[in-house]
Amino acid sequence: MGKSSGGSTQDRGDVTNVNRKCSAVTGSARKLKDNAADWHNLMLRWEKLNDEGFVVAGNIVNARRSSGEAEGSSRDLVVGNSGLQEECEKLEDVVDKMAAIVAKMERLMASQRGLVDLEEFQFGPQGRKVPLFHSWNAKDFASSCAILLQSFASELRLKRVLLREVAHSLNSDLGLVYLSCWLHQPLVPARARLALEAVLLETGQRHLPV
């Protein structure tokens, strides 16, 4: 998921409040609709943090390049430069906030798996025969959201690597590669964005253009 794909989600805004006030669905459908809004809003927050982190990481790379010490002791450079140390701490804070988002995604996923278990208990191993909304059952929602969780958990691991490496690269060109990786988020593929759109369409929180 690159820069361009992230922007489209931000432009769509927060879907939580309107849908939670207006919908009359109850039970499992109510919970899944609320969860869909939560997934959407967590991804909006992630994209905002990704943009913030890109700016901070860019400051770090530029500081390294302008220092003229890219071939010296990278760790001594960070420790000896209070401005650079501050930027590194800012980037660490961004990654910590991203980790908190993934933790919330994990809780959402646990909630959705719980709904699958409940429906299997109520309706048998195949789940309910009547769709919750248009065509999906609880398992379909869990499958789509598992794609989201896997993608963002993987991207978080990459972000932690970039956090560790971006201020300590001995090569300024390599720093630019790290910046590109941060911006374009290679471990959040297009299918993750499509999975979210499918969830929002199924729950009626996104509508196909007429």
Q: Of the candidates 175, 154, 180, which has an alpha carbon nearest to the alpha carbon of residue 165?
A: 175
> Residue 23 pLDDT more than 90?
no
CA dihedral 118, 199, 196, 204 (to 10 degrees): -140
CA distances from 135 to 83, 84, 113, 139 (A): 55, 53, 18, 11
Reading the block at residue 74, the tokens are: 């990278």
**pLDDT on residue 90:** 96
Do 32 and 132 meet the contact criterion of CB atoms below 8 Å apart?
yes
- Domain residue spans of the chain: 3-202
- Tell me the mean pLDDT in the region 86-103: 97
Residue 167 pLDDT > 70: yes
**Does the pTM of the predicted model rise above 0.85?**
no
